[in-house]
Amino acid sequence: MEREVAETVVRATREEAELRARDDLDQLRRQAVEAGRERSRKIIKITNINTSTGGISYNPAGRLLRDWYLHVYINSVRANLGQPNEAIDAQQVQDTALLLERVRPGAEPLQATSAVDATRKIAVADAAAAVARIIERLADAGAVRAIRQAPDHRFDSDPLRVHVTRHWYQRSYDRTVEEAVNARHAPTAANDAEMVHVADALVTREARRLLGHDGALVLPAYSDGLRIEGPAADAAMKMFNHTTLLTTSQIAGQEDDLACLDRGGSRQEPAAWSLDAPAISDRGSDTRRIQ
């Protein structure tokens, strides 16, 4: 392989991976927002139904707090994904508490403030859970997309070039995701030296360690001593300090899940977005059913 061709492959692979990662993040964020809407209806009721009398009454406090929950949830999801968002500050909490006091004049001011604060923190916790789900799903998606990017027959079926390209794709994809969640120890942006290193591997068909165990780049002066022997799939994995082989058999069964992202559909059931775990003990009991 000519060096110019190798450098083009490396650059194009990185750009495709970064683009896909951003699209996938956006797609899952939209799904997470819908899950949040569903969740708001479940945890904050706006109608009281008295099962004894059959009477139904509207609860404006529930409407206000449901809107407040969604406002906090959506902006927290966006903040956790490094997307533009409106910061939830103390003034907003205070303003919402004042509104709540107006619609619930019987409630003590401290209780209204406490209800607003609790709703806010429920939303923040749910948003954090949603983002954790997104990141878990993208960890799988990145691997599948990497294999699709470099199928076994690519590069005249040269296994080292195929596997180095896959891991390079995965590294570029993961880096975009990590930067989005502001993960600590996130790798630095791809630089020219890194791309030259990967292009070298494609040209020479030799894998040399690119990353240390902490994800930091190995200095070029040291990498000559870090030539990796062994099967191509294994050598490429070690080159990028990854922990999972990227083989075709690995993606069996994951294609449907990925198709959901590709189509922009919502194959995932709301339950799959379960933003919470087992319920805490219900301390109250009443004949009223509330929706």
| Tokens read off for 276 | 């919470």
- Of residues 24-43, those binding another protein (CB under 8 A): 42-43
Looking at 80, 149, 170, 172, which residue binds another protein (CB under 8 A)? 80
Distance set, CA 197 to CA 5, 12, 78 (Å): 14, 15, 35
CA-CA distance, 54 to 51, in Å (whole number)?
5
- The distance of closest approach from Cβ of residue 210 to another protein in the complex, given in angstroms and rounded to an integer, is 12
Decide: 258 and 267 in contact? Cβ < 8 Å: no
**1/245 with CB nearer another protein:** 245
Structure tokens at 239: 């080159």
Q: Provide the token pair at 64.
A: 């206000």
* Interaction between residue 18 and another protein (CB under 8 A): no
What is the pattern of x (binds another protein, CB under 8 A) and - over residues 143-162?
--------------------
Q: Is 228 one of the binding residues for another protein (CB under 8 A)?
A: no
Using CB under 8 A, count the residues that bind another protein: 71
What is the maximum span of the chain, computed from C-alpha positions, in angstroms?
82
Smallest separation (angstroms) from another protein to the CB of 275: 9
> CB of 86: closest distance to another protein in angstroms?
18
User: Whole-angstrom Cα distance, residue 160 to residue 201?
Assistant: 8
Does position 204 interact with another protein (CB under 8 A)? The reply is no
Site for another protein in 84-123 (CB under 8 A): 100, 104, 106-108, 110-111, 114-115, 117-122
Separation CA 109–CA 102 (nearest Å): 10
Does residue 79 touch another protein according to CB under 8 A? no
Which CB atom, from 7 or from 194, has the smaller least distance to another protein? 194
Figure out which of the listed residues 136, 193, 255, 265 binds another protein, where binding follows CB under 8 A. Answer: 136
Q: Which listed range, 1-9, 147-155, 183-191, 245-253, lies at the site for another protein (CB under 8 A)?
A: 183-191
Note whether 270 binds another protein by CB under 8 A: no
**Cβ 73 to another protein, closest distance in Å?**
12
Residue from 214, 229, 256, 269 in contact with another protein (CB under 8 A):
214
**Quick check: 277 binds another protein (CB under 8 A)?**
yes
Cα–Cα distance for residue pair 268/25, rounded to 1 Å: 15
Nearest CA to 28 out of 120, 137, 176 is that of 137
Q: Is residue 47 a contact partner of residue 56, using CB atoms and an 8 Å limit? A: yes
Q: What is the H or E stretch that residue 127 is in?
A: helix 109-149
**What value does the CA radius of gyration of the chain take, rounded to a whole number of Å?**
25
Using an 8 Å Cβ cutoff, are 166 and 246 in contact? Answer: yes
Whichever of 221 and 252 has its CB closer to another protein, that residue is: 221
Of residues 1 and 217, the one with the C-beta less far from another protein: 217
